């Protein structure tokens, strides 16, 4: 594994591990396989793990704790707060009030069975709570020793600047992949300017760029069934795109996932993607991306392919979009 510098002091694996799919959003959980995958991550040197209190209504944090507690010094753990859900784990709103933040961090610490969270994110920006007030409350957690570093997710440039003026923001997590590139115009340069590590989630476009995703076989409760990009009207375009990308990877002697992740890594040395998986074979494949070098010709070939198949569809539906900060 190769490593990248985080917050000037930490050495984090260049490929992190997104743990959401182990307990949430993608099909049926498989806890035994997930535990094996977590142990394999340690063996591969993947020390940056990402979860959230909303994943499985806390079940993902509890699952991770089974490996985290006995390997605490080997793992840099990130979790998030803010989404409120009903008993069926459906999102009902977002809450970044200081009083709720205090409750949320205690609940996460209890489920993770640790004393300090390495990186604590606001999962979104609450339009009803000033950013300065939210980050001020998060900063108190650092002073109290409950949290080491602060992060934001899906935040606008304006919110990032406001937050960073209250307390250093060490990480920004937003969707970024070959198919979702909104952050390139303003967010990526701002992260460079402020010394913020950019953490792309869904760097494989929720599996689309692996050329293994079969939309017709998705489980009824799979999150992607609700997203425009994974609907029938875009299927022909995206199937051909994935197949074309797989051919570029074949010519290069790597897997499609490795080429897609290597492309993300090549966009900046302050970028640490967190592809999610519950399966050991996919984790091994993802880890191999750090050894793939993306050339100028590779980038040109990829851009030409993307231009050939532009009908990729939106990444979010209207309900999901309302939680994305556009201030």
Closest by Cα among 130, 133, 164, 240 to 7 = 164
Distance CA 157, CA 163 (A): 10
Any catalytic annotation for residue 55? yes
Separation of first and last alpha carbons in the chain: 38
Distance CA 234, CA 64 (A): 35
Distance CA 20, CA 130 (A): 28
| Catalytic residue of the set 3, 26, 55, 176 | 55
Distance CA 231, CA 229 (A): 6
SS3 54: coil
CB 150 within 8 A of CB 169: yes
Instruction: Count CB atoms within 10 A of the CB of residue 188.
Output: 21
Report the catalytic residues: 55
């Amino acid at each position: 594994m190769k490593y990248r510098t985080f917050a000037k002091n930490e050495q984090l694996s260049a490929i992190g591990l997104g743990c959401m799919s182990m307990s949430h959003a993608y099909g049926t959980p498989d806890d035994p396989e997930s535990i094996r995958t977590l142990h394999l991550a340690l063996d591969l040197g993947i020390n940056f793990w990402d979860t959230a209190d909303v994943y499985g209504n806390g079940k993902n944090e509890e699952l991770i704790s089974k490996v985290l507690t006995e390997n605490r010094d080997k793992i840099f753990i990130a979790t998030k707060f803010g989404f409120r859900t009903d008993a069926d784990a459906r999102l009902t709103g977002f809450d970044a009030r200081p009083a709720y933040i205090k409750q949320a961090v205690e609940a996460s610490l209890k489920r993770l069975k640790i004393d300090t969270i390495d990186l604590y994110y606001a999962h979104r920006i609450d339009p009803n709570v000033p950013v300065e007030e939210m980050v001020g409350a998060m900063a108190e957690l650092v002073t109290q020793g409950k949290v080491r570093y602060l992060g934001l997710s899906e935040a606008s440039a304006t919110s990032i600047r406001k937050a960073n003026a209250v307390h250093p923001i060490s990480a920004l997590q937003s969707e970024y992949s070959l198919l979702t590139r909104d952050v390139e115009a303003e967010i990526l340069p701002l992260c460079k300017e402020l010394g913020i590590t950019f953490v792309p989630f869904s760097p494989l476009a929720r599996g689309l760029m692996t050329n293994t995703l079969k939309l017709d076989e998705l489980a009824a409760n799979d999150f992607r069934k609700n997203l425009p990009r994974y609907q029938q009207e875009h299927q022909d375009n995206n199937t051909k795109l994935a197949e074309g990308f797989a051919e570029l990877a074949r010519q290069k002697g790597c897997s499609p996932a490795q080429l897609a992740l290597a492309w993300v890594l090549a966009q900046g040395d302050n970028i640490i993607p967190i592809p999610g998986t519950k399966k050991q074979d996919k984790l091994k494949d993802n880890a191999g991306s750090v050894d793939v070098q993306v050339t100028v010709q590779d980038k040109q070939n990829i851009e030409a392919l993307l231009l050939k198949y532009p009908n990729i569809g939106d990444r979010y539906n209207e309900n999901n979009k309302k939680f994305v900060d556009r201030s």
